Amino acid sequence: MPLPTPFLKKVLGVVSSRSSPASRRLLSRPPPSRFRHARVSPVATVVGGAAAVTGVAAYLLQPSTASKDHKNATIFVPQIKPLKRNGDAAADNSNSNIVQLQSPVKALDVADANEVLRREERSKLFDAGNGQVGRCDLVRVPSNSPVEDEFVTGTQAGPGGNPWTFWGVFDGHAGWATSVLLREALVPMVSDHLERLPAHATSPQISTGISQAFLAVDDAINRSALAAMNDPEAHPGSAQVVSAIAPAIAGSCALLAAYDPVSTTLRVACTGDSRAVLGRAINHDGSASCKPRDKYAAVALSRDQTGKNDDEYARLVAAHPGEAETMINRESGRLLGLAVTRAFGDHRWKWREGDITEAQQKYWSSAPRPNSKSPPYLTAEPVVEETRIQVGTKRPTSPAPTPAAPASNPQGGEPQQQEDHHRRGDFLILASDGFWDHISNEDAVECVARWLDAKRADALRGTPADALKKMKKMNPRHADDADDDEHWWLDEGRYVEWRATPEFFVAEDDNAATHLVRNAFGGARRSLFCGVVTAYPPISRNVRDDTTVQVVFFGDV
């Protein structure tokens, strides 16, 4: 999806390593201490009204293309089909013999739900460093229409111009304009700031560069919106202004991972409540008998930035003394009604009341937030975490054992898997909160570990029933035996809730991100899974949020 208009792209000055000096100066210029809007004078109002009337008259005098089409029309309107009735009693007009009306919403079975789930999945390879090739899997499952989640995967220049790989998840809210803009602009802006640094830049320099890039994008979003409203030629309802302010009216979180393959260093920058979790490889002896949960440790590389986060609460209370009780709901974690404490856009948590009111009255935006006394309350500044990655080595390509000589089990029973002594690599899970609403960090890491075991055991392909039959020994709970009434509940006054836990995990997908979302949406609980995916906009927001997941494997899969 392109940016809303070329005008918006020009105003924001999205930069790359080849951006012009003028663009750099625009984005590096400090914000003015106070914005003032030019008011429309009576003369301008009259002139604008006259221009509008002239435009309408010119439009009405244009030759009509519709009239030509009308003269050439040769097809009569069709007959509307009557209702089908039970039996032959056509003369009976009672409602009792009318066939039940069919809902236009299709009840999805497992095959249908699989198709929806896999519609936007994809996999890519990247340079993992140490001579190894990594793989990243991605999937997005919409709930809103249009979808508000966006993502990015690709390479750009890092310090000294060296190529880095970037992965981003942008969880939009109150519209899609901000997340789409971040998809287009954030990585180029970060790259622009990092490329100015020397190849041997220190960790603090790199973290500062990433933070400055985040703030520069958000400043450009708000600066361009206010500049458009300040334009003396802008009139109420201007299409150009409506377009220009769209990324400031909506909002978005941003979760960005940046990987340097030379130093095998990963940096994660978080603004909002999307989450990054590392699966840290342990037990490098390659023992096949090791349980999936024991092969990887869950390491959080971000913390949800909400009012439930003690650090965020303390930061806001210090910045807005005397407002704690009206500003943050500690139970829900909401900041003046917003679920996050850091975000891009979201003008109602950043602008002065007069500016917000003008955007509302002239350009159909929303009203100021109640209890907003000392904006800005939100910042787009990220928290940046850094870690060294353990890159896995490629698995040896040895001939498969012949069926006549399987590895024996000294205890009897089924043959044991052959051990492979390659070094397991770390993996990274990046996901919007629609995924984390249903699963813990530890269970998500175990879910990927089970997928890796299933893939190496060649137990992913085939129909769901075939795959589950192969996985029965690896997963103690068979999907067909799962009780759909377990592990979901209905509290009074709330919607159906559930948690994704290991006893309901299944492994059926070639894509690790799709595998995670399937299990987050029900896994072995087939009726729950089909119901969650069947839910349609707008009620789907009561069931699931837009859900985007990227899984990055640092080494052979």
Over the stretch 21-62, which tens digit does the pLDDT of each residue have? 444 443 444 444 433 334 334 333 333 443 443 443 444 445
Q: In the structure encoding, which two tokens stand for residue 275, read together?
A: 């989450």
Quickly state the pLDDT bin for 73 (edges 50, 70, 90): confident
Average pLDDT of span 156-175: 98
Give me the mean pLDDT over the 53-75 stretch.
55
Q: Is 383 strand, coil or helix?
A: strand
Structure tokens at 213: 């890039």
Q: With residue 278 as reference, give the H or E element that holds it.
A: strand 275-281
Confidence label for 289 from pLDDT (cuts 50, 70 and 90): low
Segment 431-487, tens digit of pLDDT: 999 999 999 999 999 999 999 999 988 877 544 444 444 444 444 444 444 444 455
Average pLDDT over residues 317-336: 97
Of all helices (H) and strands (E), which one includes residue 327?
helix 324-327
| Low-confidence winner among 63-72, 201-210, 332-341 (lowest mean pLDDT) | 63-72
What tokens does 282 get? Answer: 């342990």
pLDDT band at 497 (very low <50, low <70, confident <90, very high): confident
Buried b vs exposed e over 246-264: b needs ≥16 C-beta within 10 Å? Answer: bbbbbbbbbbbbbbbbeeb
Residue 72 has pLDDT above 90, yes or no: no
pLDDT band at 97 (very low <50, low <70, confident <90, very high): low
Please, which residues have CB within 8 angstroms of residue 7's CB and are 6 or more apart in sequence?
A: 240, 243, 244
Judge whether 431 and 515 are in contact, CB under 8 Å: no
pTM, full prediction: 0.80
Length of the chain: 557
Q: Are 524 and 476 in contact (CB under 8 A)?
A: no
Asked whether residue 412 carries a pLDDT value surpassing 50, the answer given is no
Token look-up 């390479």 returns 155
DSSP 84: P
Q: Which CATH number fits domain 110-305+340-396+420-553: 3.60.40.10, 3.30.365.10, 3.90.1150.10, 3.40.50.1860?
A: 3.60.40.10
Q: What is the DSSP letter of 539?
A: G
Reported as a pLDDT band with limits 50, 70 and 90, residue 328 is: very high
Taking residue 458's Cβ as centre, other Cβ atoms within 10 Å add up to: 10
Name the residue with higher pLDDT: 492 or 345. 345
Asked if 426 contacts 557 with a C-beta cutoff of 8 angstroms, the reply is no
| Range 374-395 average pLDDT | 96
Q: Is the pLDDT of residue 90 over 90?
A: no
Label each residue of 220-245 as H, E or C: HHHHHHHHHHHCCCCCCCCHHHHHHH
Q: Determine the Cα–Cα distance for residues 352 and 362; give it in Å rounded to an integer.
A: 16
C-alpha R_g of the chain: 28
What are the backbone dihedrals phi and psi of residue 231, each rounded to the nearest 5 degrees, phi first?
-60, 120
Residue 204: how many other CB atoms lie within 10 Å: 10
